[in-house]
Structure 1
Amino acid sequence: MMYTISRQAVFFCFASFLILLFYFNFFRIYQVRENSMEPALFNGQKIVTVKNSPVHNGDIVVYENPEDHRLVVKRFLLSPGEPVVISNGILMTQAGNVPLTARQIQLLSSYDSIPDDMFFALGDNIYNSHDSRDYGPVTIENIKGKVLLF
Protein backbone atom coordinates (compact mmCIF):
# COMPACT_ATOMS: atom_id res chain seq x y z
CA MET A 1 0.00 0.00 0.00
CA MET A 2 2.77 2.45 0.91
CA TYR A 3 4.57 1.66 -2.36
CA THR A 4 1.45 2.56 -4.38
CA ILE A 5 1.00 5.92 -2.65
CA SER A 6 4.64 6.85 -3.19
CA ARG A 7 4.46 5.86 -6.84
CA GLN A 8 1.27 7.91 -7.30
CA ALA A 9 2.87 10.89 -5.58
CA VAL A 10 5.90 10.70 -7.87
CA PHE A 11 3.65 10.40 -10.93
CA PHE A 12 1.54 13.38 -9.77
CA CYS A 13 4.64 15.53 -9.16
CA PHE A 14 6.13 14.58 -12.53
CA ALA A 15 2.87 15.25 -14.38
CA SER A 16 2.48 18.60 -12.61
CA PHE A 17 6.03 19.53 -13.54
CA LEU A 18 5.41 18.70 -17.21
CA ILE A 19 2.19 20.70 -17.28
CA LEU A 20 3.87 23.73 -15.70
CA LEU A 21 6.84 23.43 -18.04
CA PHE A 22 4.51 23.32 -21.05
CA TYR A 23 2.44 26.23 -19.75
CA PHE A 24 5.36 28.56 -18.99
CA ASN A 25 7.06 27.83 -22.31
CA PHE A 26 4.00 28.42 -24.48
CA PHE A 27 1.44 30.53 -22.59
CA ARG A 28 1.34 33.61 -20.39
CA ILE A 29 -1.39 35.39 -18.43
CA TYR A 30 -1.47 39.20 -18.41
CA GLN A 31 -3.79 41.78 -16.96
CA VAL A 32 -4.91 44.64 -19.20
CA ARG A 33 -3.74 47.95 -17.68
CA GLU A 34 -5.34 50.47 -20.03
CA ASN A 35 -8.57 51.40 -21.79
CA SER A 36 -7.12 51.52 -25.30
CA MET A 37 -8.64 48.20 -26.41
CA GLU A 38 -12.23 48.87 -25.34
CA PRO A 39 -14.74 47.50 -26.17
CA ALA A 40 -12.82 44.26 -26.91
CA LEU A 41 -10.73 44.32 -23.71
CA PHE A 42 -11.27 46.29 -20.52
CA ASN A 43 -8.90 47.71 -17.92
CA GLY A 44 -8.26 45.03 -15.28
CA GLN A 45 -9.31 42.13 -17.51
CA LYS A 46 -7.08 39.03 -17.55
CA ILE A 47 -5.96 37.63 -20.91
CA VAL A 48 -4.10 34.48 -21.98
CA THR A 49 -1.45 34.76 -24.69
CA VAL A 50 0.41 32.14 -26.66
CA LYS A 51 4.11 32.74 -27.32
CA ASN A 52 5.75 32.31 -30.72
CA SER A 53 2.46 31.98 -32.56
CA PRO A 54 2.09 33.35 -36.09
CA VAL A 55 0.43 36.77 -35.99
CA HIS A 56 -1.90 38.10 -38.67
CA ASN A 57 -3.63 41.39 -39.33
CA GLY A 58 -6.49 41.82 -36.87
CA ASP A 59 -4.94 39.70 -34.09
CA ILE A 60 -4.60 41.23 -30.64
CA VAL A 61 -1.03 41.11 -29.33
CA VAL A 62 0.92 41.96 -26.19
CA TYR A 63 4.18 43.72 -27.01
CA GLU A 64 6.84 45.91 -25.50
CA ASN A 65 6.23 49.60 -26.20
CA PRO A 66 9.39 50.88 -27.95
CA GLU A 67 9.24 54.22 -26.11
CA ASP A 68 9.09 53.19 -22.46
CA HIS A 69 9.46 49.38 -22.67
CA ARG A 70 6.25 48.65 -20.77
CA LEU A 71 3.93 45.93 -22.03
CA VAL A 72 0.84 47.05 -23.93
CA VAL A 73 -2.07 45.31 -25.65
CA LYS A 74 -3.03 46.44 -29.16
CA ARG A 75 -4.36 45.11 -32.45
CA PHE A 76 -1.87 44.01 -35.13
CA LEU A 77 -3.06 46.22 -37.99
CA LEU A 78 -0.40 46.28 -40.72
CA SER A 79 2.21 43.63 -41.54
CA PRO A 80 5.74 44.11 -42.91
CA GLY A 81 5.67 45.38 -46.48
CA GLU A 82 2.11 46.68 -46.37
CA PRO A 83 1.70 50.22 -47.75
CA VAL A 84 1.19 53.20 -45.46
CA VAL A 85 -1.47 55.25 -47.26
CA ILE A 86 -2.47 58.62 -45.81
CA SER A 87 -5.14 60.73 -47.49
CA ASN A 88 -6.65 63.93 -46.05
CA GLY A 89 -5.42 63.14 -42.55
CA ILE A 90 -6.73 59.57 -42.63
CA LEU A 91 -4.66 56.37 -42.52
CA MET A 92 -6.31 54.07 -45.05
CA THR A 93 -6.22 50.34 -44.20
CA GLN A 94 -8.17 47.26 -45.26
CA ALA A 95 -9.59 47.10 -41.73
CA GLY A 96 -10.91 50.67 -41.95
CA ASN A 97 -9.89 54.30 -41.92
CA VAL A 98 -8.01 55.75 -38.96
CA PRO A 99 -8.00 59.52 -38.25
CA LEU A 100 -4.57 61.05 -37.57
CA THR A 101 -3.37 64.19 -35.83
CA ALA A 102 -0.94 66.56 -37.57
CA ARG A 103 1.94 65.11 -35.51
CA GLN A 104 0.95 61.54 -36.43
CA ILE A 105 0.71 62.47 -40.12
CA GLN A 106 4.21 63.94 -39.98
CA LEU A 107 5.62 60.80 -38.32
CA LEU A 108 3.88 58.28 -40.57
CA SER A 109 4.44 60.21 -43.82
CA SER A 110 8.08 59.13 -43.67
CA TYR A 111 6.98 55.53 -44.37
CA ASP A 112 5.94 54.28 -47.81
CA SER A 113 5.35 50.85 -46.32
CA ILE A 114 5.83 49.00 -43.05
CA PRO A 115 9.55 48.05 -42.84
CA ASP A 116 10.68 44.42 -42.79
CA ASP A 117 10.46 42.78 -39.35
CA MET A 118 8.08 45.49 -38.11
CA PHE A 119 4.32 45.90 -37.68
CA PHE A 120 1.80 48.67 -37.09
CA ALA A 121 -0.30 48.40 -33.93
CA LEU A 122 -3.51 50.23 -33.12
CA GLY A 123 -5.78 50.32 -30.09
CA ASP A 124 -9.46 49.65 -30.76
CA ASN A 125 -10.39 52.73 -28.71
CA ILE A 126 -8.61 54.99 -31.22
CA TYR A 127 -9.37 58.22 -29.38
CA ASN A 128 -7.83 56.87 -26.16
CA SER A 129 -4.83 54.90 -27.40
CA HIS A 130 -1.10 55.59 -27.58
CA ASP A 131 0.07 53.28 -30.38
CA SER A 132 1.99 53.10 -33.67
CA ARG A 133 0.36 56.34 -34.77
CA ASP A 134 2.42 58.00 -32.04
CA TYR A 135 5.71 56.06 -32.14
CA GLY A 136 5.71 54.40 -35.56
CA PRO A 137 6.02 50.73 -36.49
CA VAL A 138 7.18 48.28 -33.83
CA THR A 139 9.78 45.52 -34.19
CA ILE A 140 8.13 42.09 -34.40
CA GLU A 141 10.68 40.89 -31.82
CA ASN A 142 8.84 43.09 -29.28
CA ILE A 143 5.78 40.82 -29.46
CA LYS A 144 5.43 38.79 -26.25
CA GLY A 145 2.37 36.84 -27.36
CA LYS A 146 -0.85 36.69 -29.32
CA VAL A 147 -4.00 36.99 -27.23
CA LEU A 148 -5.83 33.67 -27.19
CA LEU A 149 -8.50 34.06 -24.52
CA PHE A 150 -10.09 37.08 -22.96
Structure 2
Amino acid sequence: MMGDEKMEEVKNKPSKMKELMSWVWPILIAIIVAVGVRQFLFAPVTVKGESMENTYHDNDRVIISKLSKIERFDVVVFESPVEDDHYIKRVIGLPGDHVEVKNDELFINGKKYDEPYESDHVKDYKADGLNFTEDFKMEDVTGEKVVPEDSYFVLGDNRQNSSDGRDYGFIKKSAISGVVAFKFFPWN
Protein backbone atom coordinates (compact mmCIF):
# COMPACT_ATOMS: atom_id res chain seq x y z
CA MET A 1 0.00 0.00 0.00
CA MET A 2 2.79 2.45 0.84
CA GLY A 3 4.33 1.87 -2.53
CA ASP A 4 1.03 2.63 -4.28
CA GLU A 5 0.72 6.00 -2.48
CA LYS A 6 4.28 6.98 -3.44
CA MET A 7 3.60 5.88 -7.02
CA GLU A 8 0.43 8.00 -7.10
CA GLU A 9 2.32 10.98 -5.65
CA VAL A 10 4.98 10.70 -8.34
CA LYS A 11 2.27 10.50 -11.03
CA ASN A 12 0.54 13.65 -9.66
CA LYS A 13 3.74 15.69 -9.43
CA PRO A 14 3.86 16.57 -13.16
CA SER A 15 0.19 17.57 -13.14
CA LYS A 16 0.77 19.86 -10.12
CA MET A 17 3.72 21.42 -11.92
CA LYS A 18 1.59 21.80 -15.04
CA GLU A 19 -1.13 23.53 -13.01
CA LEU A 20 1.40 25.84 -11.39
CA MET A 21 2.83 26.80 -14.78
CA SER A 22 -0.68 27.43 -16.10
CA TRP A 23 -0.85 30.26 -13.53
CA VAL A 24 2.73 31.53 -13.81
CA TRP A 25 2.77 32.16 -17.58
CA PRO A 26 -0.31 34.42 -17.70
CA ILE A 27 0.95 36.39 -14.70
CA LEU A 28 4.37 36.87 -16.29
CA ILE A 29 2.81 37.93 -19.59
CA ALA A 30 0.53 40.40 -17.79
CA ILE A 31 3.50 41.93 -15.95
CA ILE A 32 5.50 42.27 -19.18
CA VAL A 33 2.54 43.90 -20.96
CA ALA A 34 1.93 46.31 -18.04
CA VAL A 35 5.59 47.35 -17.91
CA GLY A 36 5.66 47.79 -21.70
CA VAL A 37 2.49 49.91 -21.71
CA ARG A 38 3.79 52.13 -18.90
CA GLN A 39 7.24 52.49 -20.47
CA PHE A 40 6.19 53.17 -24.08
CA LEU A 41 2.48 54.13 -24.26
CA PHE A 42 0.81 55.57 -21.14
CA ALA A 43 1.83 56.44 -17.58
CA PRO A 44 0.11 57.86 -14.49
CA VAL A 45 1.44 61.16 -13.12
CA THR A 46 0.57 63.09 -9.95
CA VAL A 47 0.32 66.87 -10.34
CA LYS A 48 2.43 68.80 -7.83
CA GLY A 49 1.83 72.45 -7.03
CA GLU A 50 -0.54 75.19 -8.11
CA SER A 51 0.97 76.28 -11.43
CA MET A 52 -1.77 74.68 -13.57
CA GLU A 53 -4.81 75.77 -11.54
CA ASN A 54 -7.73 75.90 -12.47
CA THR A 55 -7.10 73.20 -15.07
CA TYR A 56 -5.27 70.80 -12.73
CA HIS A 57 -4.80 71.04 -8.97
CA ASP A 58 -2.18 69.80 -6.53
CA ASN A 59 -2.42 65.98 -6.18
CA ASP A 60 -4.67 65.50 -9.22
CA ARG A 61 -3.75 62.32 -11.03
CA VAL A 62 -3.50 62.28 -14.81
CA ILE A 63 -2.57 59.81 -17.53
CA ILE A 64 0.01 60.92 -20.08
CA SER A 65 0.27 59.56 -23.60
CA LYS A 66 3.83 58.97 -24.70
CA LEU A 67 2.86 58.61 -28.37
CA SER A 68 0.79 61.76 -28.90
CA LYS A 69 2.01 64.45 -31.27
CA ILE A 70 2.61 67.68 -29.35
CA GLU A 71 0.31 70.48 -30.49
CA ARG A 72 -0.25 74.06 -29.39
CA PHE A 73 -2.14 74.31 -26.07
CA ASP A 74 -1.51 70.64 -25.14
CA VAL A 75 -0.61 70.11 -21.49
CA VAL A 76 2.68 68.21 -21.21
CA VAL A 77 4.80 66.64 -18.49
CA PHE A 78 8.55 67.15 -18.82
CA GLU A 79 11.85 66.94 -16.96
CA SER A 80 12.48 70.22 -15.19
CA PRO A 81 15.42 72.18 -16.58
CA VAL A 82 16.17 73.64 -13.13
CA GLU A 83 15.71 70.79 -10.64
CA ASP A 84 15.48 67.01 -10.43
CA ASP A 85 11.72 66.81 -10.88
CA HIS A 86 8.98 66.79 -13.53
CA TYR A 87 6.76 69.77 -14.36
CA ILE A 88 3.35 70.00 -15.97
CA LYS A 89 2.70 73.05 -18.21
CA ARG A 90 0.80 74.12 -21.32
CA VAL A 91 2.58 74.29 -24.69
CA ILE A 92 2.19 77.82 -26.04
CA GLY A 93 4.99 78.10 -28.61
CA LEU A 94 5.91 75.49 -31.22
CA PRO A 95 9.22 75.43 -33.13
CA GLY A 96 9.52 78.63 -35.21
CA ASP A 97 6.86 80.55 -33.22
CA HIS A 98 7.25 84.01 -31.73
CA VAL A 99 5.27 84.46 -28.48
CA GLU A 100 4.18 87.69 -26.84
CA VAL A 101 1.66 88.72 -24.17
CA LYS A 102 0.31 92.28 -24.12
CA ASN A 103 -2.39 93.46 -21.72
CA ASP A 104 -3.38 89.85 -20.89
CA GLU A 105 -3.74 88.92 -24.57
CA LEU A 106 -1.66 86.13 -26.10
CA PHE A 107 -0.09 86.72 -29.53
CA ILE A 108 1.67 83.97 -31.45
CA ASN A 109 3.38 85.07 -34.66
CA GLY A 110 1.38 88.31 -34.42
CA LYS A 111 -2.00 86.53 -34.29
CA LYS A 112 -4.16 86.93 -31.16
CA TYR A 113 -5.26 83.69 -29.49
CA ASP A 114 -8.00 83.24 -26.91
CA GLU A 115 -7.07 81.37 -23.76
CA PRO A 116 -10.40 80.09 -22.35
CA TYR A 117 -8.54 78.19 -19.60
CA GLU A 118 -7.38 81.62 -18.30
CA SER A 119 -10.75 83.42 -18.31
CA ASP A 120 -11.51 83.05 -14.57
CA HIS A 121 -8.04 84.20 -13.53
CA VAL A 122 -7.98 87.16 -15.90
CA LYS A 123 -11.49 88.27 -14.92
CA ASP A 124 -10.54 88.37 -11.23
CA TYR A 125 -7.39 90.41 -11.88
CA LYS A 126 -9.10 92.79 -14.35
CA ALA A 127 -11.75 93.52 -11.70
CA ASP A 128 -8.90 94.77 -9.49
CA GLY A 129 -7.37 96.78 -12.39
CA LEU A 130 -4.39 94.40 -12.74
CA ASN A 131 -2.98 92.18 -15.48
CA PHE A 132 -2.94 88.47 -14.73
CA THR A 133 -0.02 87.80 -17.07
CA GLU A 134 2.78 90.33 -17.00
CA ASP A 135 3.50 91.70 -20.49
CA PHE A 136 6.45 89.99 -22.18
CA LYS A 137 7.99 89.22 -25.53
CA MET A 138 9.71 85.91 -25.86
CA GLU A 139 13.02 87.54 -26.76
CA ASP A 140 12.90 89.53 -23.52
CA VAL A 141 12.70 86.26 -21.63
CA THR A 142 14.94 83.93 -23.63
CA GLY A 143 17.07 86.13 -25.87
CA GLU A 144 15.64 84.24 -28.87
CA LYS A 145 13.04 85.73 -31.19
CA VAL A 146 11.53 82.35 -32.13
CA VAL A 147 11.22 78.91 -30.53
CA PRO A 148 14.20 76.81 -31.72
CA GLU A 149 13.82 73.57 -33.67
CA ASP A 150 12.95 70.54 -31.45
CA SER A 151 11.91 72.85 -28.59
CA TYR A 152 8.73 74.29 -27.08
CA PHE A 153 7.76 77.35 -25.06
CA VAL A 154 5.54 76.48 -22.09
CA LEU A 155 3.52 78.47 -19.57
CA GLY A 156 1.56 77.48 -16.47
CA ASP A 157 -2.15 78.28 -16.44
CA ASN A 158 -1.79 79.97 -13.04
CA ARG A 159 0.66 82.55 -14.38
CA GLN A 160 0.96 84.43 -11.07
CA ASN A 161 2.20 81.26 -9.39
CA SER A 162 4.14 79.39 -12.09
CA SER A 163 7.79 78.83 -12.83
CA ASP A 164 7.70 78.31 -16.59
CA GLY A 165 9.27 79.32 -19.92
CA ARG A 166 9.39 82.94 -18.78
CA ASP A 167 11.92 81.82 -16.15
CA TYR A 168 13.90 79.00 -17.77
CA GLY A 169 13.35 79.37 -21.51
CA PHE A 170 12.58 76.53 -23.88
CA ILE A 171 11.89 72.86 -23.26
CA LYS A 172 13.63 70.35 -25.51
CA LYS A 173 11.37 67.81 -27.18
CA SER A 174 13.56 65.05 -25.69
CA ALA A 175 12.72 66.27 -22.15
CA ILE A 176 8.97 65.78 -22.65
CA SER A 177 7.60 62.60 -21.05
CA GLY A 178 4.17 62.86 -22.64
CA VAL A 179 0.96 64.76 -23.34
CA VAL A 180 -1.78 64.71 -20.68
CA ALA A 181 -4.57 62.52 -22.06
CA PHE A 182 -7.03 62.79 -19.17
CA LYS A 183 -7.45 63.25 -15.42
CA PHE A 184 -8.51 60.12 -13.56
CA PHE A 185 -8.53 61.35 -9.97
CA PRO A 186 -10.42 63.05 -8.42
CA TRP A 187 -13.49 62.26 -10.49
CA ASN A 188 -15.27 65.63 -10.22
Give the TM-score, by structure 2 length. 0.67
Partner-residue secondary structure (3-state), 2:20: helix
Which entry has the higher C-alpha Rg, 1 or 2?
2
Alignment correspondent of 1:115: 148
Give the whole-Å Cα distance in 2 for the aligned partners of 1:22 and 1:141. 19
1:45 aligns with 2:60: yes
Distance 1:125 1:85, change over 3 A: closer
Cα RMSD after superposing both structures: 2.8
3-state SS of paired residue (1:130) = coil
Q: Which amino acid aligns with 2:173?
A: I
Tell whether the 8 Å contact from 1:91 to 1:99 is kept in structure 2 after alignment.
no
Q: Distance in 2 between matches of 1:49 and 1:87?
A: 32
What is the SS of the residue equivalent to 2:107? Answer: strand
Write the distance in 2 (CA, Å) between the matches of 1:86 and 1:112: 14
Say if 2:115 is the partner of 1:100. Answer: no
Code of the residue aligned with 1:130 in structure 2: it is S
Of 84, 92, 98 in structure 1, the residue corresponding to residue 99 of structure 2 is: 84
Structure 2 Cα separation of the partners of residues 49 and 64 of structure 1: 14
> Deviation at 1:52?
4.1
Shift of 1:88: 6.9
Question: May I ask how many residue pairs the two structures share in their alignment?
Answer: 149
Which is richer in helix?
Answer: 2
Q: Report deviation, 1:54.
A: 1.5
Aligned-partner residue type, residue 89 of structure 2:
K
Gaps of 5+ in 2: 1-14, 116-131, 184-188
**Which aligned runs of 4 or more in structure 1 are off by greater than 4 angstroms?**
1-4, 86-91
* Structure 2 counterpart of 1:125: 158
Summarize deviations over 1:28-73 as a string: whole Å, max 9, x none. Answer: 2221111111111110111111224311111111111212242110
Give the equivalent residue in structure 2 for 1:75: 90
In the TM superposition, residue 132 of structure 1 has moved relative to its aligned partner by 0.3
Deviations 1:72-100 (A, max 9, x none): 10011111111234657965235447833
Change (3 A) 1:41 1:88: closer
Query: Quick check: 1:122–1:131 contact (8 Å CA) kept in 2?
Result: yes
**Structure 2 Cα separation of the partners of residues 124 and 85 of structure 1:** 15
Output the CA distance in 1 between the equivalents of 2:76 and 2:98.
Answer: 21
Per-residue deviation, 1:106: 3.0
Q: TM-score, normalised by structure 1?
A: 0.81
Q: Is the 8 A contact 2:139 2:145 kept in 1?
A: no
Name stretches of at least 5 consecutive residues in structure 1 with no aligned partner.
none
Residue 19 of structure 1 pairs with residue 33 of structure 2: yes
